[in-house]
Amino acid sequence: MFSRGHKLNSILFIRCPRCHEGAFIQRKVYDFSGLTSVRKSCPSCALNYHLEPSFYFGSMFVAYALGVAVMVAVIVMNHLLMESFSFLKAFWSIFVVLIVLAPYLNALSKIIWANFFFHYDPEWKVKYPIKK
């Protein structure tokens, strides 16, 4: 399921959508020295990650969907674990979970967005050799 060639491999490990080897973002996800920024190109296969200026603006739709999914999951967990539902407890638990997961969700939304447009190529080493 997570083997190389499957989109989940690229998404969950935040790697290049074409070769599934190169790093996709500049820094580690929880490195707070800046916002999650996408590299210009893949260090392994030299795929240009930016098809056009502001290419990753569209990832905000993915981030919204991920945020809603996390919110629903937290509400369900709250409902299952707590004896009585409290709107205030649900609100604060959603708030804390979203704050903690924000850097990962940000990176996840960008790699999911990139996987809409780039696809795994098993012959990338032959087709796109990096010139040194």
**113 in Cβ contact with 58 (< 8 Å):** yes
Q: CA–CA distance from 83 to each of 74, 78, 79, 86, 97 (Å)?
A: 15, 9, 7, 9, 20
- 45 makes contact with Zn ion (CB under 5 A): yes
44 vs 109, which CB is nearer to Zn ion? 44
State which of residues 10, 22, 56, 74 lies at the interface with Zn ion (CB under 5 A): 22
Give me the residue label for tokens 């649900």.
90
- 19 makes contact with Zn ion (CB under 5 A): yes
The first and second tokens of residue 8, run together, are 């989940």
79 vs 125, which CB is nearer to Zn ion? 125
- 16 makes contact with Zn ion (CB under 5 A): yes
The first and second tokens of residue 105, run together, are 């969700």
- 38 makes contact with Zn ion (CB under 5 A): no
Q: How far is the CB of 65 from Zn ion (least distance, A)?
A: 25
- 15 makes contact with Zn ion (CB under 5 A): no
- Rounded distance, CA 101 to CA 105, Å? 6
Q: For residue 126, what are the contacts with CB-CB under 8 A and spacing of at least 6?
A: none
103 vs 118, which CB is nearer to Zn ion? 118
Task: Write out the residues near Zn ion by the rule CB under 5 A.
Answer: 16, 18-19, 22, 42, 44-45, 47
